[in-house]
Amino acid sequence: MKLTPSDLASEISTALTSRGWFVGEGLYSPALCSALLSDLNHLYDQQQKFTKARIGYKSSKTLKTHIRNDYISWLDPLSPTVCQQEYFKITESLMDLLKKELFIPMNAFEAHYAIYEPGGFYKKHLDGFKTRKARMISIILYLNPDWQENLGGELIIYNENNPNQIDAQVTPKFGRFAIFLSQSIYHEVVTTPQNRYSLTGWMRYNEVESDPLALFI
Ligand code: OGA
Ligand code: NI
């Protein structure tokens, strides 16, 4: 069933408030997911468009392949393809609704495609820390047709209050999405035996660096 951001916003808000995460389907149509997957494959074919993912913030970004070894390609919000535009529209309208329901300040969105090749993983981590440019909510859309259960490559979501306890093991099935609080939910990608495709987005709060109006106050 096709669901809109408004159909899901209150259910997602309730889950984020009570346990910090939600997993669902139906927000991104199969047609959109297929278009995103071919978009991703098109970029993957042009080798230089995907690079080994790095860890850290700005200048301290380093390549730590013992923590993660996936390949990523950032979406350019200034020149989105048609399907990227549709993805931004849906996800940004969800962000606006969540902002109102949860009273979390958010004013920016960023996203990248990710490919984990066979043997790919991402060790247990948080996505965000409280800084002037902070990730607040992570949303991951899976683009793997015909993914079998218990193959490996699952997303493990840990308990918000007890990060040693597993809350969920999510099979990265086509069209499924996982959404969670970036700064409080530990998660991990189990080693995958086959190519694993996804589109990861972050709803962020970027503190305004210099407010020109401040000069007049
Ligand atoms: C990430 C991440 C999880 C996934 O990119 O930070 O944790 O399931 N991804 O792809
Ligand atoms: Ni993560």
Q: What is the pLDDT of residues 146-160, one digit of tens each?
A: 999 999 999 999 999
Tokens 């609704």 label which residue? 97
- pLDDT, tens digit (0-9, with 9 covering 90-100), for 56-81: 766 567 777 788 989 999 999 999 99
Q: Is the minimum distance from the CB of 189 to ligand 1 under 6 angstroms? A: yes
Q: Which two tokens stand for residue 92?
A: 């940004």
Q: Which two tokens stand for residue 102?
A: 């949860």
Residues ≥6 apart with Cβ < 8 Å to 150: 171
| Residue 70 CA, closest ligand 1 atom number | 5
Q: What is the pLDDT of residue 176?
A: 98
Q: How far apart are CA 90 and CA 86, in angstroms?
A: 6
Contact 124, 188 (CB under 8 A): yes
Q: What is the pTM of this model?
A: 0.93
Q: What is the pLDDT of residue 217?
A: 43
Distance 10 CA to ligand 1 centre (A): 24
Looking at ligand 1, which residue's alpha carbon is closest to its atom 6? Answer: 127
Q: At residue 25, what is the residue type?
A: E
Distance 208 CA to ligand 2 centre (A): 25
Contact 203, 139 (CB under 8 A): yes
Low-confidence ranges of the chain (pLDDT < 70): 57-60, 209-217
Contact 172, 155 (CB under 8 A): yes
138 CA to centre of own chain: 5
Entry field: residues in the chain: 217
Contact 115, 197 (CB under 8 A): yes
